[in-house]
Amino acid sequence: MLEAGNNSELPTIPGKRYFTIGEVSELCGVKPHVLRYWEQEFPQLKPVKRRGNRRYYQRQDVLVIRQIRSLLYEQGFTIGGARNRLQGEEARDDVSQAQQIVRQLRTELEEILRILRR
């Protein structure tokens, strides 16, 4: 079991449009085979598939994956429980996703500020 708060140790999501499964694996601390499994279990995960069935995830997918990871690894939900949580009414108000987005924005704004100060 991972410690709570591990999400804050995940790397910042770069400001690009699409991410490969390898990049998402690094960004979310989850192996690629786990990501492929979660795609089958969570209807919210629909990466774009291009040439040769290669997956390309968007920023929103990365945030959802981080939320799934938090529900499963940190909050102790089962796959079914996490799926219900994401599909239920709570999903719209989910505090962990909101906190994640705020952390991400703050990190990006600090980076912009650092660049502007040069």
Opening angle at CA 90, ends 89 and 93, nearest 5? 110
- Written as tens digits, the pLDDT of the chain (118 aa) is 333 444 557 888 888 889 999 999 999 999 999 999 999 999 989 899 888 889 999 998 999 999 999 999 999 999 999 998 888 755 555 666 677 778 888 888 898 999 999 8
pLDDT digits (tens, 9 = 90+) for 11-41: 888 888 899 999 999 999 999 999 999 999 9
With H, G, I as helix, E, B as strand and everything else as coil, classify residue 49: strand
Q: Cα-Cα-Cα-Cα dihedral of 78, 99, 25, 4, to 10°?
A: -60
pLDDT at residue 4 in the model: 40
Nearest of 101, 41, 96 to residue 71 by alpha carbon: 96
Which of 7, 4, 55, 3 lies closest to 29 in space, CA to CA? 7
